[in-house]
Structure 1
């Protein structure tokens, strides 16, 4: 017996996938969880493991074809199973009911569908002791109908056999006929006019211009960003953070950290760690809008926006609140390397509840990020820049050169207001400014 394999949903919001290469051919034996194909989606390229064990009977989708999630892509003949054959019925007529009026609660008999010679032959005389031939299920159904029902059906030109019976034993009643007639005579509902598809407005192409088709990942980014801006009323705000103490701490620790951990010590783990602690104090930013209610997520799963030069991808660090700075540094380094190497799985991109972006690594000093739909907010860390700042010391105000960073948050104004967003930002700011040259990494 062949069982189908369908295109799975390889990540949140993924609706289709492309079979880029079959790793197995028809007739091959496959084990459960053995890769059978390479699949490309708008979020990830991955191998598709077989959910079944058996012989690959048929490939239903050719390489390079894009299909919707849930589409059957292959058939697998299960090990040790054969399609059962129904034994022939030697005496179908003898099994037919012969009662003219079955007892109450007797189920309706199915219409005989056999085309065997025995079934087509005229009934033999006798057989029930009363000299009557064994009746077919349909004949019984007609005979069970009352004269009123038969007359009403004749008046309206209705075949009783086409009317579902609701009476005892499947008997067609007067109400059944009347309801069937009303249903047939009711005017059809006007078809809703389908919205015409609006062709995208095309740019004017000039000599020397080059036109590039959208890649699946670029199309997905375009759709997600458009959905976010269309559905979510964005608002954003910004605070300045004095990173001088943290800069000194990193300079002191980065060489030994690399030797000890094998990964670079960047500012991002400190920012993510501060954001996680601030989310615990301000859980409204770790939530989603759900129609007429707000769902506050228990888990803090932080998405890290990773620049791929021609795209942006957001792998997720689940349960980020359970990691210290060292743990966050390791996990961030791992997901960034795998993102840039194309080794992320669908699970790596699913389940995010809050996103942190770091455009400062590319030199940005101020920007308003777009929320990663359907999350409530996104935190953006800008470049750390040395500039003169007025500070207070024992002698009063003074001008000093400090390492300053702008920190922004974009938020869903349906879920929270500016006050809640600023309380969150200031909680992040306090933690980042609390680091000094002698602080520990934790």
Structure 2
């Protein structure tokens, strides 16, 4: 029996996967749950196990090909593939549909059917099999029809053209694949460089995925950015004072990120429209808060997600942030780790940048960018008197989707994030 190997759907928004490497080749024996191939789905590499014991008989797609989820990518023949009929039990006559009798020794027409396994090295899709069965085309006849699909595979159009030509009694020609011009975004004209003065680098699948995602985002959402200044002095002093104690107790470093996540979660509860997505002419407001944290890795930028951030206290948030960041840097993320985000945070301040305008992580409607924390003189008013003091300051940028978030809403949300950071409640952390 043939068992289909399917391109799996590894996450709620993933629609396709790229084959990175086949660990087996046609003819190899495989065991159930043995690693069969590696795929890449939106920057996460995943090993796909064999669904059954047997022999890998056919690979339909090569390495580096991108295939929609749910597509059959290979076949495995299990140990028992045919029903054995004992000679002593076989009757002289066999009744078939329509009342016609087939005598022993008479050739039985091998019609293609979904229900009848047929020995053939050629792949036929379920649609082709059904058409052949309906039209009464035998396997022998089907094998002789030229195919224009991948690997000379017989396509639906090939078979329909053959049937039409057969009816008209004209010469059968392979179906011609009509060339349709693909609509692509404008591409800069190639430049001419002095010979030997440039290096051409092929994009990795990670870079390609990121490029496509960023382009789709700016085409989908009219981006607007609001920027506010935030006094991080109290938080930075707290981190400096209790960093060692926190690490000894919890086993990981205390960083700025969980403080930002905590403030964002509190602000999102007050402004739920920021925690939403757009589907056509409908706004989907999420009743849960999943925070994506942008992490720079050796293999590219990735945004793992802290799930149900609104249900965690500060220690829980800090632990979850540390866990997903470590998994990202060690390339241990699963597809589920990068799915389901409702709002994202990117901290370009770790590279010394003070201001940025981040691109929204679709299908979300906003993203917070955090600049570098820098000490500088700031005017502080206390009891009606102005003072100049050295404070640890950072610029926060909110990029938002102007289709549903106007400047007033975006501005109020950002100022609320600033408020929670500047008035952070440290109780229970140490």
Structure 2: 5+ residue runs without aligned partners?
109-134, 136-177
Contact 1:276–1:320 under 8 Å retained in 2: yes
Does 1 or 2 have the higher relative contact order (CA < 8 Å, sep 6+)?
1
Indicate whether 1:206 and 2:193 are aligned.
yes
How far, CA to CA, are the matches of 1:213 and 1:380 in structure 2?
Answer: 29
Corresponding residue of 1:255:
244
Indicate whether 1:365 and 2:354 are aligned.
yes
Spell out the pairing of 1:279-290 with structure 2 (5 A cutoff). Answer: 279-290=268-279
Corresponding residue of 1:7:
7
How far, CA to CA, are the matches of 1:40 and 1:290 in structure 2?
Answer: 26
The structure-2 alpha-carbon separation of the partners of 1:213 and 1:393, relative to structure 1 and needing over 3 Å to count, comes to same
Contact 1:249–1:439 under 8 Å retained in 2: no
C-alpha deviation, 1:333, in angstroms = 1.8
Question: Alignment partner of 2:397: what SS?
Answer: strand
How far, CA to CA, are the matches of 1:252 and 1:331 in structure 2?
Answer: 22
Structure 1: 5+ residue runs without aligned partners?
98-111, 121-161, 163-191
Question: Alignment partner of 2:372: what SS?
Answer: strand
CA deviations over 1:244-280 (Å, ceiling 9, x no partner): 1111111111111111112111100000111111111
Whichever of the two has the greater Rg, that structure is: 1
Contact 1:18–1:41 under 8 Å retained in 2: no
How far, CA to CA, are the matches of 1:280 and 1:28 in structure 2?
Answer: 54
The structure-2 alpha-carbon separation of the partners of 1:85 and 1:281, relative to structure 1 and needing over 3 Å to count, comes to farther
How far, CA to CA, are the matches of 1:57 and 1:354 in structure 2?
Answer: 43
How far, CA to CA, are the matches of 2:396 and 2:271 in structure 1?
Answer: 17
C-alpha deviation, 1:387, in angstroms = 1.3
C-alpha deviation, 1:84, in angstroms = 4.2
Indicate whether 1:90 and 2:100 are aligned.
no
Question: Alignment partner of 2:371: what SS?
Answer: strand
How far, CA to CA, are the matches of 2:60 and 2:303 in structure 1?
Answer: 30
How far, CA to CA, are the matches of 2:63 and 2:376 in structure 1?
Answer: 54
C-alpha deviation, 1:90, in angstroms = 2.6
How far, CA to CA, are the matches of 2:25 and 2:198 in structure 1?
Answer: 42
Contact 1:356–1:378 under 8 Å retained in 2: yes
Q: After the TM superposition, which of the residue ranges 298-307 and 393-402 deviates more from structure 2? A: 393-402
Indicate whether 1:441 and 2:409 are aligned.
no
The structure-2 alpha-carbon separation of the partners of 1:267 and 1:61, relative to structure 1 and needing over 3 Å to count, comes to same
Contact 2:93–2:103 under 8 Å retained in 1: no
TM-score (norm 1): 0.72
Indicate whether 1:323 and 2:326 are aligned.
no
How far, CA to CA, are the matches of 1:422 and 1:68 in structure 2?
Answer: 42
TM-score (norm 2): 0.74
Corresponding residue of 1:425:
414
Correspondence for 1:350 among 336, 339, 344? 339
Spell out the pairing of 1:72-151 with structure 2 (5 A cutoff). Answer: 72-78=72-78, 82-84=81-83, 90=93, 92=95, 96=98
Q: After the TM superposition, which of the residue ranges 391-400 and 290-299 deviates more from structure 2? A: 391-400
Contact 2:57–2:77 under 8 Å retained in 1: no
The structure-2 alpha-carbon separation of the partners of 1:269 and 1:24, relative to structure 1 and needing over 3 Å to count, comes to farther
C-alpha deviation, 1:193, in angstroms = 9.4
C-alpha deviation, 1:359, in angstroms = 0.6
Q: After the TM superposition, which of the residue ranges 363-372 and 426-435 deviates more from structure 2? A: 426-435
C-alpha deviation, 1:23, in angstroms = 5.7
How far, CA to CA, are the matches of 2:309 and 2:252 in structure 1?
Answer: 18
Q: After the TM superposition, which of the residue ranges 243-252 and 13-22 deviates more from structure 2? A: 13-22
Tell me the matched-pair count. 356
Spell out the pairing of 1:226-265 with structure 2 (5 A cutoff). Answer: 226-265=215-254
Question: Alignment partner of 1:221: what SS?
Answer: helix
How far, CA to CA, are the matches of 1:206 and 1:57 in structure 2?
Answer: 47
Corresponding residue of 1:404:
393
Root mean square deviation of aligned Cα: 3.3
CA deviations over 1:76-129 (Å, ceiling 9, x no partner): 3457x5444798893648x748xxxxxxxxxxxxxx898999899xxxxxxxxx
How far, CA to CA, are the matches of 1:383 and 1:336 in structure 2?
Answer: 19
Corresponding residue of 2:291:
302
Corresponding residue of 2:18:
17
Question: Alignment partner of 1:361: what SS?
Answer: helix
C-alpha deviation, 1:28, in angstroms = 2.9
Corresponding residue of 1:225:
214
CA deviations over 1:280-299 (Å, ceiling 9, x no partner): 11111111111111001122
The structure-2 alpha-carbon separation of the partners of 1:119 and 1:264, relative to structure 1 and needing over 3 Å to count, comes to closer
How far, CA to CA, are the matches of 1:381 and 1:113 in structure 2?
Answer: 81
Corresponding residue of 1:167:
none
C-alpha deviation, 1:26, in angstroms = 4.1
Indicate whether 1:269 and 2:258 are aligned.
yes
The structure-2 alpha-carbon separation of the partners of 1:42 and 1:196, relative to structure 1 and needing over 3 Å to count, comes to closer
Corresponding residue of 1:64:
63
Indicate whether 1:38 and 2:38 are aligned.
yes
